[in-house]
Chains A and B, each alone.
Chain A
Amino acid sequence: MSQYLLSVIHDPEDVAAMDAMTPEEMQAVFAAVGTFNERLQAEGAWVFAGGLQTHESTTTVDATGAETIVTDGPFAETKEYLGGFWIIEAPDLDAALKWAAEGSKACANRVEVRPFQEEPGA
Chain B
Amino acid sequence: MSDAHAAVERIYREEYGRVVASLVRRFGDIDIAEEAAGEALLVALEKWPRDGVPPNPGGWLTTTAGNRAIDRIRRESHRDAKHQAALMIHDDTPHEPTGPVEDDRLRLIFTCCHPALAPEARVALTLRLLGGLTVPEVAQAFLVPETTMAQRITRAKRKIKDAHIPYRVPATEDLASRLGAVLAVVYLIFNEGYLASSGEVPIREDLTAEAIRLARILRALLPDEPEVAGLLALMLLTEARRTTRVAGGELVVLSEQDRGGWDRTLIAEGHAIVRECLARARETGRGPGRYQLLAAINAVHTDAPTAADTDWEQIAALYAQLEAIAPSPIVALNRAVATAELDGPEVALAAVDKLPLSGYHAWHATRADLLRRLGHSAEARAAYDAAIAATENPAERAYLARRREQLRP
Partners in one complex: yes
**A60 interfacial by beta-carbon distance below 8 Å:** no
Question: Is B166 a contact partner of A94 (Cβ separation < 8 A)?
Answer: yes
Chain B residues, Cβ within 8 Å of A113: 163
| Contact call B165/A92, Cβ cutoff below 8 A | yes
Complex Cα spacing A93 to B165, Å = 5
**Contact assessment for B116 and A93 in the assembled complex, using a CB-CB cutoff below 8 Å:** yes
Whole-angstrom CA separation of A116 from B55 in the bound complex: 46
Known: A94-B170, A97-B116. A121 touches B80 (CB 8 A): yes
The answer to whether A93 touches B166 (Cβ under 8 A) is yes
Report the Cα distance A115→B159, complex, angstroms.
9
Q: How far is the CA of A93 from the CA of B111 in the complex (A)?
A: 11
For residue A94, which residue of chain B has the nearest CB? B166
- The residues of B that contact A94 with a CB separation of less than 8 Å are 165-166, 168, 170, 174
Would you call A120 and B164 a contact (CB within 8 A)?
no
Nearest Cβ in chain B — how far from A38, in angstroms? 23
Interface bits B106-118 vs A (CB < 8 Å: 1, else 0): 0000000010100
A120 touches B170 (CB 8 A): no
CB distance from B180 to the nearest CB of A (A): 16
Contacts of B162 in A (CB 8 A): 115, 117
- Report, as a range, how many residues of chain A touch the other chain: 10 to 19
How many A-B pairs have beta carbons closer than 8 Å: the answer is 31
- The 0/1 profile, CB within 8 Å of B marked 1, for residues 34-45 of chain A is 000000000000
The minimal Cβ–Cβ distance linking B22 to chain A, given in whole angstroms, is 20
* Nearest-Cβ distance from residue B157 to partner chain A, whole angstroms: 14
Complex CA–CA separation, A120 to B168 (angstroms): 24
Q: In the complex, which of the residues A115, A120, A121 contacts B163, with contact meaning CB atoms closer than 8 Å?
A: A115
* A60-75 to B contact mask, C-beta < 8 Å, 1/0: 0000000000000000
Complex contact B166–A92 (CB within 8 A): yes
Contact check, A121 vs B164: say whether CB atoms are below 8 A apart.
Answer: no
A115 surroundings in chain B (CB, below 8 A): 162-164
Is B308 close to A, CB under 8 A?
Answer: no
- Interfacial chain A residues near B174, Cβ < 8 Å: 94
Q: Given contacts A94-B170, A97-B116, is CB(A2)–CB(B80) below 8 Å? A: no
Q: Does B89 contact A (CB under 8 A)?
A: no
**Bound-complex Cα distance A115 to B162 (A):** 7
What residues of chain B lie closer than 8 Å to A2, measured between beta carbons? 164
User: For the complex, what is the distance from the CA of A94 to the CA of B174, rounded to whole Å?
Assistant: 10
- Nearest CB in chain B: distance from A84 CB, A: 21
A114-B164 Cα distance, complex, nearest whole Å = 10
| In the assembled complex, B324 has its CB within 8 A of some CB on chain A | no
Cβ of A96: which chain B residues have Cβ within 8 Å of it? 164
Contact (Cβ within 8 A) A120 B116: no
A92 B164 Cβ-Cβ under 8 A? yes
Nearest-Cβ distance from residue B40 to partner chain A, whole angstroms: 28
- Within 8 Å CB of A91, what residues of B? 164, 166
Residues of A within 8 A of B165 (CB): 92-94
Which chain B residues border A97 with CB–CB below 8 Å? 116
Provide the residues of chain B in CB contact with A114, threshold 8 Å: 163
Q: Kindly state whether residue B1 has any CB partner on chain A within 8 Å.
A: no
Cα–Cα, bound, A2→B165 (Å): 11
User: Do A93 and B81 have beta carbons less than 8 Å apart?
Assistant: no
Determine how close the nearest CB of chain B comes to the CB of A95; give it in whole angstroms: 8
Binary flags per residue of B90-118, CB closer than 8 Å to A gives 1, else 0? 00000000000000000000000010100
Nearest 7 A/B pairs, CB to CB = A92-B166, A92-B164, A115-B163, A93-B163, A93-B165, A121-B81, A2-B164
| A interface, CB within 8 angstroms of B | 2, 91-94, 96-97, 113-115, 117, 120-122
Q: Could you list some 18 contacts between A and B, CB below 8 A? A: A91-B164, A91-B166, A92-B164, A92-B165, A93-B114, A93-B163, A93-B165, A94-B166, A94-B170, A94-B174, A113-B163, A114-B163, A115-B162, A115-B163, A115-B164, A117-B162, A120-B80, A122-B80
